[in-house]
Amino acid sequence: MPSVTRLLPTPEAHDLLELTREIADKELAPHADDFEARGEFPRELIRTLGRSGLLGLPYSAEYGGAEQPYEVYLQVLEILASRWVGIAETVSVHTLACYPLAHHGTAEQRERWLPDMIGGELLGAYCLSEPAGGSDAANLATKATRDGETYRVSGTKAWITHAGVADFYNVFCRTGGPGPKGISCLLAPADTPGLNPQAREKTMGLRSSPVAQIALDDAVVPAERLIGGEGEGFRIAMGALDSGRLGIAACAIGLAQGALDYAVNYARERVQFGKPIIDLQGLGFLLADASTQITAARALMLHAARLRDAGLPYSIEAAKTKLFATDMAMQVATDAVQVLGGAGYVADHPVERYFREAKVLQIVEGTNQIQRMVIARSLAKD
């Protein structure tokens, strides 16, 4: 299998990636096709990752995290995604769901709730999108009204990963007037009265990962579960998405690497016209381009991650990385199917699944059209 040469910051990081490869190869990869075919969420496998410390990698050791640099965490995600992108997406979304509390919660809130969240005992979800507002998050309609020591929340959230299996939900809701300054964030436990996951969506790919609407029917959330102050929710949401976009980019790079590895191995063994098809220039060049694009995406991702780790602005670089990596993954998955020909179009080979899974990465956590808008606006500024 083609290897990836990595420059890691510490020996500990090297050991962590070796552990990740071992878990991915022994515990995850053998089960991917079965869980995806059945559309079953692999909760016990996620608990295995939690016990191995892989669900709290970028968070503080004070609360049970591994306190790893983001550049290391993203490469863990990439390795997981190269074996099973559904698992990597779960880790990415859970890490995203821990962000509001970890970065904006009070010391008391973090002490009470964060250890179980990043330790893997509890699984998180992130409720921002709505049926009438996905990309236009600043105009969300879900309403929360203060009622003594609680908030009463009504509205509908859409496209929520982990709906129905999560233990906690970050609910972004309107506590004030219109626009971004009226939005707040509530950390709602799954057993919140009036918080009702709806029927699962029938998705093209990532079928092991449940996605559904969350209906909030006068849901009662304790006021002590307000994260940040009232009106700070939109700022929290956008900060989380900057980090989350890098997570999705890592998933895309891992998926593309897995597709390339499979296509290369197939092309080495498949003989036509008296030679392995990898020696036919048309296919050899296709694979060469894929390998180059993956390396370029990885470099973009690591650059953005290192900016984040250094405390420097990285929002625009995150948008560039998410845009480039996910478009690249869609193209590489398409080309992997082409290398296999008819064999790539059937479920006997995983490239068919990679092709279906790559598409959603261009959509989630800000569509690639939104990423282009973010980048273009930054160029227009003085």
Question: 133: which DSSP letter?
Answer: B
CA atoms within 13 A on the CB side of 342: 0
User: Residue 154 pairs with which residues in a beta bridge?
Assistant: 143
Cα distance between residue 352 and residue 344, in whole Å: 6
Active-site annotation holder among 36, 71, 232, 365: 365
Cα distance between residue 267 and residue 277, in whole Å: 5
Whether 357 is catalytic: no
Distances (CA, A) of 346 to 218, 252, 351: 46, 22, 9
List, as one string, the DSSP characters of 247-299: HHHHHHHHHHHHHHHHHHHHHHH-EETTEEGGGSHHHHHHHHHHHHHHHHHHH
Cα distance between residue 80 and residue 66, in whole Å: 17
Closest CA to 329 of 260, 245, 247, 243: 260
- Biggest distance spanned by C-alpha atoms of the chain: 79
Q: Give the residue numbers annotated as catalytic, written as ranges.
A: 365
